[in-house]
Amino acid sequence: MNKNKLDVLFLNMWGVIPPRSGGDNSVLGLALSTAKHANCTLATIDENISEIIECPPIGDLNILKLPASDHRRNRLNRLAAPKLLYGNTPPKRSLRYAHSAVLRDSLTKLTGNYDAVVLNHPWMWPALKTAMQRNAPPIIYTQPQPLP
């Protein structure tokens, strides 16, 4: 990475490559545009992996997949709170990610390496705040599309 440029981490709840919606296009476009002026990494969450995966870059944009434990696989969680944790709606994902130790550990390792973290959805805040260090970088929030 070029140390004359800022190191920026874009954090998104799901993969945006290939883009499947206007929100995906917005997130990817913002990250690609920023990568022209800063060292940028787009990190997305994947509940089907167990460690950080570095994907091939797109131009100047680095791509990472971050693991999050899938609470649906835990029998006790399925029995105790089936309606709370099932589904892929942003609030339900947010609850799962906020309590995912493997995601928290990944975010803790990553955030210390960046000058700024860009959140593309408010639902990522619960997971990120549990991982923030005392000397955490500034957090920038963008809303890629209007809230319903």
At residue 144, the pLDDT reads 61
Instruction: Please tell me the pTM assigned to this model.
Output: 0.81
Please report the pLDDT score of residue 147 as a whole number. Answer: 47
Q: Give me the phi and psi of 121, to 5 degrees please.
A: -145, 140
Q: What are the CA-CA distances from residue 42 to residues 1, 116, 126 (Å)?
A: 14, 12, 19
Catalogue the E-assigned strands of the chain.
Answer: 7-12, 39-46, 53-58, 61-67, 116-119, 139-141
What averages of pLDDT result for each successive group of 10 residues across the chain (148 residues)? 84 87 88 95 89 94 88 54 62 74 85 88 79 77 63
Q: What is the pLDDT of residue 32?
A: 95
- Say how far apart CA 84 and CA 92 lie, in whole Å: 7
